[in-house]
Amino acid sequence: MERRKTTGFTIGNVGIGSDYPVSIQSMTNTDTRNPEATVAQIKALAEQGCQLVRCAVLDTEAAQALKTICAASPIPVIADIHFNHELALLAMDNGISALRINPGNIGSEQKVREVVAKAKSLEIPIRIGVNAGSLEKDLLEQYGHPTAEAMVESALRHVRILEKLNFEQIKISLKASEVPLMIDAYRLIAEKVPYPLHLGVTEAGNAKYGTVKSAIGIGTLLAEGIGDTVRVSITGDPLQEIPIAKQILAALNLSQNGVQLISCPTCGRCQIDLAALVDKVDALTASIQKPLKIAIMGCVVNGPGEAREADLGIAGGKGQGILFKKGEIIATLPEDELLAALAKELEELGRD
DSSP 148-190: HHHHHHHHHHHHHHHHHTT---EEEEEE-SSHHHHHHHHHHHH
- Helix (H, G, I), strand (E, B), or coil: what is residue 313? strand
CA-atom Rg of the chain in angstroms: 23
316 within 8 A of 299, measured Cβ to Cβ: yes
Per-residue model confidence as pLDDT tens digits over 266-318 = 777 777 788 888 888 888 887 777 788 888 888 766 666 666 678 888 887 77
- Report CA torsion sign: 294, 298, 304, 307: negative
Q: Residue 6 — very low, low, confident or very high, per pLDDT cuts 50/70/90? A: very high
Output DSSP code: residue 337. Answer: G
pLDDT at 27 over 90: yes
Rounded Cα distance, 130 and 64, in Å: 26
Per-residue model confidence as pLDDT tens digits over 229-276 = 999 999 999 999 999 999 899 889 898 677 888 888 877 777 778 888
Tell how far CA 290 is from the center of its chain.
18
Rounded Cα distance, 149 and 179, in Å: 15
Rounded Cα distance, 178 and 290, in Å: 34
Q: Report, as an integer, the average pLDDT of 198-224.
A: 94
> What is the rounded (10 degree) CA torsion for 217, 288, 71, 7?
-40
Per-residue model confidence as pLDDT tens digits over 35-44 = 999 999 999 9
* pLDDT of the residue at 351: 53
Q: Residue 345 — very low, low, confident or very high, per pLDDT cuts 50/70/90? A: confident
- Helix (H, G, I), strand (E, B), or coil: what is residue 312? strand
Rounded Cα distance, 121 and 98, in Å: 13
Which domains are seen in the chain, by residue range? Answer: 9-251 (3.20.20.20), 259-351 (3.30.413.10)
Closest CA to 244 of 295, 204, 299: 204
* pLDDT of the residue at 206: 92
Rounded Cα distance, 36 and 13, in Å: 23
